[in-house]
């Protein structure tokens, strides 16, 4: 069966520090991969998606970047965090963009 994991689960970082959140999927190949952010409140905002190694599409301009160095690995990064980057970050995957999407456990980021 397929599983998705992301880490770290919680992170407290000072303003201006770098960020790296990692997500891996097991049990499938060539998944579509996604990074979402959920700010205070409830809405989920799509940040990045990837349909293959090295292929990244950005939904909104921001202080963050994403990379996909391996087929089942998706990394969310920042060189210098801002206070507004605080939130709950969720990695997700599906087989095709029309199919059921599955989420990881989430990572709570607090920028102080």
Chain contacts with other proteins (rule: CB under 8 A): 38, 41-44, 46, 88, 90, 97-103, 105-106, 108
- DSSP β-ladder status, 87-94 and 32-38: antiparallel
User: Which is closer to other proteins, CB of 4 or CB of 81?
Assistant: 4
Specify the residue, 61 or 69, whose C-beta has the smaller distance to other proteins.
61
| 54 DSSP assignment | T
CB of 44 to other proteins, least distance (A): 4
How many other β-carbons are positioned within 10 Å of the β-carbon of residue 109? 21
Q: Which of 74, 80, 40, 41 is nearest to 55 (CA)?
A: 74
- Write down the least CB distance from residue 53 to other proteins, Å: 20
């Amino acid at each position: 069966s397929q599983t998705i994991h992301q880490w770290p689960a919680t992170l407290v970082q000072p303003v201006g520090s770098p960020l790296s959140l990692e997500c891996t999927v097991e049990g499938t190949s060539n998944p579509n991969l996604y990074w979402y952010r959920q700010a205070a409140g409830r809405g989920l905002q799509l940040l990045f998606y990837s349909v293959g190694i090295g292929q990244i599409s950005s939904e909104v301009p921001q202080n963050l970047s994403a990379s996909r160095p391996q087929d089942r690995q998706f990394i969310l990064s920042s060189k210098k965090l801002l206070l507004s980057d605080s939130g709950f970050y969720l990695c997700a995957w599906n087989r095709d963009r029309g199919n059921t999407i599955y989420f990881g456990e989430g990572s709570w980021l607090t920028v102080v």
